Amino acid sequence: MKIDSEQTILGYTRTGKDTYEPIYEPKRGFVYTQAFIICYECNTAISGCGGPRHNSLCVKCFENYRLERFIDGQGPLT
């Protein structure tokens, strides 16, 4: 999958056991559902549309989670 470098990553959605998929900033010209994506750790609104998505983390919580896993000696996230 080609990733558009102009798109900002807003957060991550958990798609499986140790797999996370980035949530990109909504693109102009695309239609999105008018539902918030909320971080399940800190309840911050990640995006005002494109939701609802369960198991989503904001960038900050995702980085914290990744760091915790690293400290715990667990495998890397993909």
Q: Is residue 64 a contact point for Zn ion (CB under 5 A)?
A: no
Does residue 42 bind Zn ion (CB under 5 A)?
yes
**What's the closest the beta carbon of residue 39 comes to Zn ion, in angstroms?**
3
- What does the alpha-carbon distance between residue 55 and residue 70 come to, in Å, rounded to a whole number? 20
Q: Does 9 bind Zn ion (CB under 5 A)?
A: no
37 makes contact with Zn ion (CB under 5 A):
no
DSSP string, 36-74: -EE-TTT--EEESSS---SSEEEHHHHHHHHHHHHHHTP
Give me the residues that bind Zn ion (CB under 5 A), please: 39, 41-42, 44, 58, 61
